[in-house]
Amino acid sequence: MEFLQVLITGLGQGCLYGLIALGFVLIYKATEIVNFAQGDLLMLGAFFAVTYIGILDLPYWLGFLLTIISMAVFGYLLDMLVIRSMIGESQLSIIILTISIGFILRAVAGGIWGSDILSLETPYSGEMANIEGLVIGQEYLVVIAGTIVLSVILFLFFKFSSLGIAMQASSQNQLAAYYMGVPVKRVFSLIWAISALVAAVAGTLMAPISLVDPQMGFIGIKAFAAAVIGGFGSLPGALIGGLIIGISEQLAGTYLPTGFQEITAYLIMFLVLTLRPKGLFAQIQQKKV
């Protein structure tokens, strides 16, 4: 029984890693930029959720919706106004830029919301699900369900909508996409919007479990490991990488001596990089720019 409980907690945690990793991979595939502020987008999303739902006292679902929309707009503008101007600069300067954006977001969040620890009340807070004698906090089940729903929506969007396919096309061959009449720059900004939206969902789902403070974005470091494990080019890979880390972490925390839980993510990343340098789900094709 304990094992199942650990498993579900790990799955929930892994979903959060997976969602952030998804954001890393989406942006990287399209623009070859590693957005080190991805975790801080989650943090910002969580603060938006706390503001709309906790402070402004809006109904949960309305607050959730507003959080998603606000963050999507934020992601779009971030690319349009800041990132796009760096096109053509070296990889290093762009990495420094995204790291700095993370710093700035943390500082701004601290300035606006203070360093008080906030938490998010939800309709399901504190409720326990009792499944055949197994007691689990609803929060984790909601995280898992939310991740499944979002993944299915994203899958359908990328597979069947013409905008989604155009996003894939722009990621695989930018110039050819231009020649098809795709406004590639706008499409890239939309990809940033989707990444920020996914981070916002993760942030809103995480807020009731963890505490909402400006440092919560550091979860992004483990999510980065998840993306690497997944091959940094595959969306399912990112999610699975997240699950692998989430579950192993919980198992390590329960069954191994203290201290192991914290390094599990990096140990696995190291192992995967040694045995399969391109990650577990490396894609066959080199992309053309």
Under the rule (CB under 8 A), what is the footprint of another protein?
162, 165-166, 168-169, 172-173, 175-184, 283-285, 287-288
Q: How far apart are CA 171 and CA 283, in angstroms?
A: 13
CA distances from 164 to 21, 153, 157, 191, 194 (A): 19, 11, 5, 10, 11
224: tokens are 């980065």
Q: Give the shortest CB-265-to-another protein separation in angstroms.
A: 28
Query: Quick one: which H or E segment has residue 96?
Result: helix 91-113
Q: Give the shortest CB-167-to-another protein separation in angstroms.
A: 11
Q: For the purposes of burial, counting CB atoms within 10 Å of the CB of 197, is it exposed (0-12), middle (13-18) or buried (19 or more)?
A: buried
Measured from the CB atom, the residue of 9 and 174 that comes closer to another protein is 174
Q: Give the shortest CB-88-to-another protein separation in angstroms.
A: 13
Measured from the CB atom, the residue of 211 and 282 that comes closer to another protein is 282
Q: How far apart are CA 72 and CA 225, in angstroms?
A: 24
Measured from the CB atom, the residue of 277 and 288 that comes closer to another protein is 288
Measured from the CB atom, the residue of 233 and 246 that comes closer to another protein is 233
Q: How far apart are CA 142 and CA 50, in angstroms?
A: 17
Q: Give the shortest CB-28-to-another protein separation in angstroms.
A: 15
Measured from the CB atom, the residue of 181 and 277 that comes closer to another protein is 181
The length of the chain is: 289
Measured from the CB atom, the residue of 119 and 173 that comes closer to another protein is 173
Q: Give the shortest CB-273-to-another protein separation in angstroms.
A: 23
Measured from the CB atom, the residue of 186 and 276 that comes closer to another protein is 186
Q: Give the shortest CB-93-to-another protein separation in angstroms.
A: 20
Q: How far apart are CA 16 and CA 20, in angstroms?
A: 6
- Neighbouring CB atoms inside 10 A of 113's CB total 17
CA distances from 242 to 14, 63, 136, 139, 227 (A): 5, 26, 21, 18, 7
Q: Give the shortest CB-170-to-another protein separation in angstroms.
A: 9
CB 137 within 8 A of CB 6: no
